[in-house]
Amino acid sequence: MSDSYVFSSPIIIHPGSDTLQAGLADEEHPGSIFPNIVGRHKLAGLMEWVDQRVLCVGQEAIDQSATVLLRHPVWSGIVGDWEAFAAVLRHTFYRALWVAPEEHPIVVTESPHVYRSFQLRREQLTRLLFETFHAPQVAVCSEAAMSLYACGLDTGLVVSLGDFVSYVAPVHRGAIVDAGLTFLEPDGRSITEYLSRLLLERGHVFTSPEALRLVRDIKETLCYVADDVAKEAARNADSVEATYLLPNGETLVLGNERFRCPEVLFHPDLLGWESPGLTDAVCNAIMKCDPSLQAELFGNIVVTGGGSLFPGLSERLQRELEQRAPAEAPVHLLTRDDRRHLPWKGAARFARDAQFAGFALTRQAYERHGAELIYQM
């Protein structure tokens, strides 16, 4: 639904629960990436809020964590605090990107959680962008579909491993196949907390929010997925040890924690959970789809998200899927170096395409028909 106006390059926003990625569609990479978090004022020494105004956003909020209350506006892919999210968007437009939102179409990626259970949030987002930021055009795109689009695909299976939400999403011709959409229990936070428990066994205590952020960095720096856990555990201890320099100058030594930590992705029972592991979840999701799609899904598996960066993860998943997939369905995993940014890159690519003009909701159409029209886009 388009009107004959020419605007500046669309603004692309991928509002992850942990990190927000933003930039212009004609850029190769997100121009700004920052923690999707706000700091609210608190009375010194107490946990009571003096006022609820957002004082700082992103890394600035984390740096002031001793004097502010930290809050994530987006949780598990769903906006839960609209005032805080508006503050994050103001920061994005006016401080991170230095753009005037009223001069650019705005494209926002949407989590499958919103697609399945919280679609009214899409209307709220549309109203916010038109009413508060005076956007000339708005588009809301499935982040799963955009991950595929970044790879030149419109049909395939997306395995997204994020910090707050992880999922397996079959997509056919740009639309999620709801029957196969599966949310995974272990997400990035679960793995970080599990590593903190393993480190406690060595006598290292990491329990505060600040300490857990450090554990997350340890996880991302040193941990890996073992191809065969039993064989890896049988190796000489020295061969798997690695060190991490703590901020206080001490050296932390990790051994088998390096591969025990991400193993929960494949075996959630290590956390006491009964949910299926990653390989089972992928197979189950595909087998719930129409049989005519299954071979194409096995052959176009796109892995994305920060949790997909563990060394060895893609190779392990490929091997286990090959053991499970039908003989007539060759398995192919696409693991690009830029996979952390695939939803953003796919949305940017889509916004550059000629078909985008017919997909975006214009201000004129919004004023005539309301935010509900976003569902028809």
349 within 8 A of 174, measured Cβ to Cβ: no
Alpha carbons 12 and 251: distance in angstroms, whole number: 41
Each residue's pLDDT tens digit, 165-214: 999 999 999 999 999 999 998 899 999 999 999 999 989 999 888 899 99
pLDDT given for residue 263 in this prediction:
97
pLDDT value at 98 more than 50? yes
Sign of CA dihedral 86, 88, 90, 92: negative
Alpha carbons 170 and 182: distance in angstroms, whole number: 9
- Give the residue from 185, 248, 195, 198 showing the smallest Cα distance to 217: 195
pLDDT given for residue 67 in this prediction:
87
Question: What average pLDDT is seen over the chain?
Answer: 92
Banded pLDDT at 6 (limits 50, 70, 90): low
Of 43-52, 138-147, 273-282, 365-374, the one with minimum mean pLDDT is 43-52
pLDDT given for residue 43 in this prediction:
57
263 vs 77, residue with greater confidence: 263
pLDDT value at 292 more than 90? yes
Strand, helix or coil at 243? strand
Each residue's pLDDT tens digit, 224-253: 999 999 999 999 888 899 999 999 999 999
Share of the chain above pLDDT 90, in %: 82
162 within 8 A of 244, measured Cβ to Cβ: no
Give the global pTM.
0.92
30 within 8 A of 341, measured Cβ to Cβ: yes
Alpha carbons 314 and 308: distance in angstroms, whole number: 8
pLDDT value at 132 more than 90? yes
Domains and CATH numbers, the chain: 11-36+72-144+340-376 (3.30.420.40), 156-185+275-335 (3.30.420.40), 189-265 (3.90.640.10)
pLDDT value at 307 more than 90? yes
